Amino acid sequence: MNNSFILFVSQTMLISNLIKHFYSMVIMNRWAGIDEFIAVGEEGSFTKAAVSLNVSVAHISRQVTQLEHRLNSQLLTRTTRSVVLTKEGEAFLHQTKQLQHAMDDATALLAQQQSTPKGKVKLTAPVMYGETFIMPVVHTFMQQYPDVEVVMSLSNQQENLVEGGFDLAIRLGHLKDSSLKARRLSARHFVICCSPDYLNTFGEPHTVTELNNHQCLIGNSSYWRVCEQGRDKHIKIAGRLQCNSGWALADAAKKGLGIVQLPNYYIEKDLEAGSLVPILTHYQPKPEGVWGVYPPRQFVATNVKALLDHLVNALN
């Protein structure tokens, strides 16, 4: 083999490697700063964005500034106290988050090949239900899979899963957002009940109409859902106590202050102990679902799917 041919092959390989490096740099440069910008846009702060990505504030600032220079657009308005998206930044954030989700889908597709769940799961749940039922199950899941990280946001406000970057949300009752994917985890039953002392003092109502003559303990709504002749309907109730805590209403009912309607998980032990007794059982509404809801992505990450399976097994 002559030297000129060897030189030709060597030069060809060098050029090929340079082209590959060039295209990899182009791709990297096009993506550079996107994750940092999205984090700042979501967190509203360079410091919080740095914490969420586990990098320095200087790195976040440098990447976002270079991104703005490449785009020739100001994406953020910076002051000494806050960071605010410009109109261009808002539009760019919306589009880049879709790109990020597409990248997450591609990563999830590969992650489905993994036999062991790993990585971060960000989820949200109602405060009481999350504290009492979801987090203990999550803790056993983390014991089983030590490479899984969990970020939980307990809130009675329904979070926007896509905007908040959530992988999973626990929702109770009727689902409003049909664009999200959902898996039924369990069910909850609403029970009308009161204390034996209340019945001894005021007597037992036998129809929902008779509730007009009784003290009803009011929660977030002054309407109760009941089932009459096979159909669900809402009836208006009244009373002198209103509170947005199920535990507090259960305590008031046990102390004879009135009749209450609550999900079964607030009062199961009291019903078993006899400190509360069910009434109007023939008006009990149909069970509602407890749901695991997740963004409408093409692929569900292995860790999210495994957590859903774990929740179904534990809650049932």
Helix (H, G, I), strand (E, B) or coil at 265: helix
Task: Give the model confidence (pLDDT) of 35-91 as tens digits.
Answer: 898 888 888 888 888 898 888 989 988 988 988 888 888 888 887 777 888 888 888
Token readout for 171 is 């929702």
pLDDT at 101: 77
Determine the angle formed by the axes of helices 46-53 and 57-71, rounding to 10 degrees: 110
pTM for this predicted structure: 0.62
* 32-99 to CATH, choices 3.30.70.1450, 1.10.645.10, 1.10.10.10, 1.20.120.420: 1.10.10.10
Cβ atoms of 196 and 270 closer than 8 Å: no
CA distance 192 to 285: 10
Task: Give the model confidence (pLDDT) of 26-38 as tens digits.
Answer: 444 667 888 898 8
Residue 125 has pLDDT above 80, yes or no: yes
Same fold, 32-99 and 190-286: no
Biggest CA-to-CA distance, the chain: 111
* More confidently predicted of 11 and 65: 65
Question: Which letter does DSSP use for residue 211 in this model?
Answer: G
Domain ranges for the chain, please list them: 32-99, 112-181+289-315, 190-286
Task: Give the model confidence (pLDDT) of 265-285 as tens digits.
Answer: 999 999 999 999 999 999 999
The CATH-assigned architecture of domain 112-181+289-315 is 3-Layer(aba) Sandwich (3.40)
The CATH-assigned architecture of domain 190-286 is 3-Layer(aba) Sandwich (3.40)
CA distance 40 to 228: 52
203-237 burial, b if ≥16 CB within 10 A, otherwise e? eebeebeebeebbbbbbeeeebbbeeeeeeeebeb
Q: How confident is the model at residue 116 (pLDDT cuts 50, 70, 90)?
A: confident
pLDDT at 172: 92
List CB contacts of 158: < 8 A, sequence separation 6 or more.
Answer: 169, 171
